[in-house]
Amino acid sequence: MIKLTNVSKSFQTKNGVVEAVKNVNIHVKAGEIHGVIGYSGAGKSTLIRCVNLLENPSEGNVYIDGEETTHLPLKDLRHTRQNIGMIFQGFNLLKTATVYDNIMIPLRLSGLRKSEAEKRVRKYIEIVGLAGREDSYPSQLSGGQKQRVAIARALSQEPSVLLSDEATSALDPETTDSILDLLLKINEELGITILLITHEMNVVQKICDHVYVMEDGEIIEQGPTIDLFTKPENPTTQMFLNTISQRKISDELLAELTDAGTVIRLTFVGSATGEPLLASITEKFSARPNILSANIIELKNGIVGNIVVHLDGNRSKNTDVLQYLQQEGVLVEELSHIQ
């Protein structure tokens, strides 16, 4: 498990103090995958460097598997570092070494016996799907394959936690998906706890149990992924969500709606469709819902459906409809009202 309590990190620069991380609290329970999302400069890399002990936090504590790491004596530091695997956007492979040696060399440097190291190299090359490519050099591999080597290298130390700093940011969408599938597989099969940072909402969508949104060094919103995708409160969270599904209805489209009525967004959690409910409001209230947009977002732990509809008719009738929909467990938001 990974736990950060009130972690802050500031840097002294020529132009004064930069507070890169401010009072951050994170708790990734063993076996979970948590994601920190934020724009460039939000403080994500600094935060993760405080977790992997490359930076010492200015304030606060970092725990890995229950052990407080920021005050460890030097001799324990190496052992704890081995318990933390790390992957990066730029892969950080040795260009002049083969796939095999890129994994083998760090293992030998850490003092592992040759026979044991050979076993591990073979095991993790197999797990990441690179069997047969042992003798290739990084320049002969695609971006996705290079990241697989980096993942095998991180896993070969047999860490209990894996940290990822934008590991898929240099990859095309299809390769990103295949690397995310690999991270899910190692999380499930090896039980590795993962903390990743990203600026891409689809990464969070696909593999995270819990999300933290970071801005100006602070966590401005956090929660189970399904909650953030259902009820994003902070404007920055909403902007990130707009990259997955456009939540706003354009002014042009609204201007075209001339019939009196209400434009509402319905959010369904767990059920793949809202159609039966729309049929039943027609039956019960003679409402005439006109669907303006609809989409379904598949998350790691569930499905969120969004439908934006125009309901014709006057406000008091529509109020009854909205109440009914809410009673049925649908999240209802009024987007605009046309007189």
Residue numbers at the binding site for ligand ADP (CB under 6 A): 11, 13, 18, 20, 38, 40-46
Backbone phi and psi for residue 237, each to the nearest 5 degrees, phi listed first: -60, -40
Q: Using the CB atoms, write b or e for 320-338: b if 16+ within 10 Å.
A: ebbebbeeeebeeeebeee
Binding site for Mg ion (CB under 5 A): 45
The nearest distance, CB 170 to Mg ion, in angstroms, is 12
Least distance to ligand ADP, CB of residue 218, Å: 12
CB-wise, 102 or 168, nearer to Mg ion?
Answer: 168
In which region does residue 218 sit, left (phi positive, over 0), alpha (psi from -120 to 50) or beta (all else)?
A: beta
Q: In what order do the strands lie in the sheet with 33-37?
A: 84-88, 161-165, 193-198, 33-37, 210-215, 218-224
CB 15 within 8 A of CB 43: no
| Residue 20 interacts with which of ligand ADP, Mg ion, none, CB < 5 to 8 Å by class | ligand ADP
**166 and 176 in contact (C-beta within 8 Å)?**
no
CB 44 to Mg ion: min, Å: 5
The entry of Mg ion, ligand ADP, none near residue 11 (CB within 5 to 8 angstroms by kind) is ligand ADP
Q: How far is the CB of 42 from ligand ADP (least distance, A)?
A: 4
Residue 36: CB minimum distance to Mg ion, A: 10
**Closer residue to ligand ADP, CB minimum distance, 12 or 258:** 12
Q: Which of 142, 219, 140, 153 is nearest to 186 (CA)?
A: 153
Residue 41 interface partner, choices ligand ADP, Mg ion, none, CB cut-off 5-8 Å depending on type: ligand ADP
Nearer to ligand ADP, 42 or 292 (CB): 42
**For Mg ion, which is the closer residue by CB, 45 or 168?**
45
DSSP secondary structure letters along 172-233: -HHHHHHHHHHHHHHHHHH--EEEEEES-HHHHHHH-SEEEEEETTEEEEEEEHHHHHH---
- As measured in angstroms, the least distance from the Cβ of 24 to ligand ADP is 12
Strand partners, 18: 11
Of 42 and 104, CB closest to ligand ADP: 42
Q: Which is nearer to ligand ADP, 39 or 63 (CB)?
A: 39
Binding partner of residue 211 among ligand ADP, Mg ion, none, CB under 5 to 8 Å per kind? none
Q: Which does 38 bind (CB under 5 to 8 A by kind): Mg ion, ligand ADP, none?
A: ligand ADP
| Residue 42 near which of ligand ADP, Mg ion, none (CB within 5-8 Å, type-dependent) | ligand ADP
CA-wise closest residue to 10 among 51, 72, 53, 59: 59
